[in-house]
Amino acid sequence: MEQKAIHILESYEQLKVISDPLRTKILMFLVEKPHTVHQLAHLLTLSRAKILYHVRELEKHDLIRLVRTEEQGGNLLKYYQAIARGYIPADHLLNFVETNEATRQSYLEVLDRAKTRVLTAPTTAFSPVSSNVEDWMSLSLQKELTMSEANFRQFSTKYRALLDEFTQSPSLDEEDKKHFYIMTTAFAIDEPLFENDDV
């Protein structure tokens, strides 16, 4: 069964399960690819028993599933994967405090995984090819914008459409293929941090 793009959380129990910071961390790994409990315990430097408990909770609430088993040295390895790449609470769950905490925690986990991706990327990913940043094969931006909520929604829609356009681009020859990691976060803030953001 293929992983869905988005799964809508319909029950308060699912929302409660997903709002736990450790489970959010586990889900982040399982969104990327299937893992065993042993692999997750190693990645998170926690006991196998603790990870097993949380994996069972996620599975019990249909947030992850067993995708394959392998026999290795007399042991049966069970690989779990998230059922979706993202989880969004249904409208009737939006007023619960767990919704805010689950959303904030997922942003923190995305940022944490992005940091890991930066640290493990090849050195060549950060090698400037000229003094013109438009020629670089990397991009790092921070921008604070002042706009209406309607403008932000419009920006979001255009940004997603741009990503879709390049995701669905025609097939490339093997020699032309290059993989890029793109991570974006955007959220309302109380006041700007940058004094002058005209650049």
Same-domain pairing of 110 and 158? no
106 and 139 inside one domain:
no
Model confidence band, residue 176 (pLDDT cutoffs 50, 70, 90) = confident
Query: How many domains does the chain fold into?
Result: 2
Asked if residue 123 belongs to a domain, the reply is no
Burial 123-158 (b: 16+ CB within 10 A, else e): eeeeeeeeeeeeeeeeeeeeeeeeeeeeeeeeeeee
Per-residue pLDDT tens over the stretch 113-127: 889 889 999 988 888
pLDDT of 169 strictly over 70: no
**Comparing C-alpha atoms, which of 24, 69, 77, 9 is closest to residue 48?**
77
Distance between CA atoms of residues 104 and 127, nearest Å: 33
Question: Quick one: pLDDT at residue 47?
Answer: 96
Last residue of a domain, one of 91, 116, 141: 116
Q: Is the pLDDT of residue 150 over 50?
A: yes
Among candidate residues 116, 145, 180, the one where a domain is terminated: 116
CATH of residue 34: 1.10.10.10
**Residues of the domain holding 107:** 4-116
If you write DSSP's letter for every residue of 127-189 in order, what string do you get?
---SS-GGG-S-----------HHHHHHHHHHHHHHHHHHHTPPP--GGG-------------
Straight-line distance from the first to the last Cα atom of the chain, in angstroms, rounded to the nearest whole number: 47
Provide the token pair at 3: 């992983």
**Angle of helix 21-32 relative to helix 37-44, nearest 10 degrees?**
120
Mean pLDDT on 127-135:
86
The residue type at 156: S
Per-residue pLDDT tens digits for 65-101 = 999 999 988 889 999 999 999 899 999 999 998 888 8
In a domain? residue 141: yes
- The pTM of this model reads 0.76
- The answer to the question of residue 124 being in a domain is no
